[in-house]
């Protein structure tokens, strides 16, 4: 009887230890961008197609800075491909409201990375808001980077479009190799709700 009780106690201790370990490991999992904005509480204002996320520091912990992002599908062409599938993502940092972009070429889904010196990686773009007249914008990229940043005027134009909840159409070509082109459109509605959530201001 005593042996059976001792064996039962050992099993309970083992289960308790393993259960605690699993919880701790789950809590230590590297944080990532929320994969599904539609899984949010339905009582909250809709965020449309926007997702929320946060950055990781050098050791993989959650940093204090966060962002909202929007993903869309477009096309790209180059000397060896025509009309291939492109994934374009726009990020807007919380607080500073700084926008930046990443572009992914299919089928390998690799981000477009700056392989040249900074000035040669530039994309010359034309951007339309809600079918209006296009205005010029440059996407800049540092050597080795996989994101594109905008100058002050470009940031202002994008933030203005975001604040108006516009739809934008973007057509870009490589400044040095114009046969490389990128085209995509983004519906910027529900931005204010998404930013309110990530900044902790949702009602």
Q: What is the pLDDT along the chain (203 residues), one digit of tens a residue?
A: 444 444 434 444 333 333 333 222 222 222 333 332 222 333 245 888 999 888 877 777 777 788 999 999 999 999 999 999 999 999 999 988 999 999 999 877 889 999 887 778 999 999 999 878 899 999 999 999 999 999 999 999 999 999 888 899 999 999 999 999 999 999 999 999 999 988 887 65
pLDDT of residue 203: 53
pLDDT for position 75: 97
pLDDT at position 21: 31
Q: What pLDDT is stored for residue 163 in this prediction? A: 86
Residue 118 is classified by DSSP as G
Structure pTM?
A: 0.74
The per-residue pLDDT for 33 is 38
Cβ proximity of 154 and 138 under 8 Å: yes
Q: Which residues contact 86 (CB under 8 A, 6 or more apart)?
A: 73, 74, 75, 76, 103, 104, 105, 106, 182, 183, 184
CA distance 77 to 193: 35
End-to-end CA distance of the chain: 60
The pLDDT value recorded for residue 63 is 72
Helix, strand, coil percent values for the chain (each to nearest 5): 25, 35, 35
Q: How do strand 135-139 and strand 123-129 relate by DSSP bridges?
A: antiparallel
Angstrom distance (rounded) from CA 64 to CA 14 = 37
**Both tokens of residue 43?**
């009582």
């Amino acid at each position: 009887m005593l042996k059976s009780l001792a064996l039962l106690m050992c099993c309970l201790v083992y289960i308790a230890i393993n259960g605690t370990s699993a919880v701790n490991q789950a809590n230590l999992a590297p944080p990532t961008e929320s994969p599904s904005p539609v899984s949010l509480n339905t009582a909250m204002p809709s965020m449309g197609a926007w997702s929320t996320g946060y950055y990781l520091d050098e050791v993989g912990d959650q940093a204090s800075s966060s962002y909202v992002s929007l993903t869309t599908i477009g096309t790209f062409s180059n000397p060896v491909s025509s009309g291939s599938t492109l994934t374009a993502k726009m990020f807007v940092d919380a607080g500073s409201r700084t926008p930046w972009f990443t572009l992914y070429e299919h089928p390998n889904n690799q981000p477009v990375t700056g392989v040249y010196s900074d000035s040669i990686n530039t994309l010359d773009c034309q951007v339309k808001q809600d079918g209006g007249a296009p205005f010029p914008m440059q996407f800049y990229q540092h050597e080795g980077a996989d994101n594109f940043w905008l100058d002050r005027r470009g940031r202002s134009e994008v933030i203005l479009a975001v604040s108006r909840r516009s739809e934008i159409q973007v057509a870009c070509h490589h400044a040095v190799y114009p046969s490389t082109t990128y085209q995509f459109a983004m519906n910027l509605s529900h931005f204010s709700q998404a930013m309110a959530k990530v900044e902790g201001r949702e009602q």
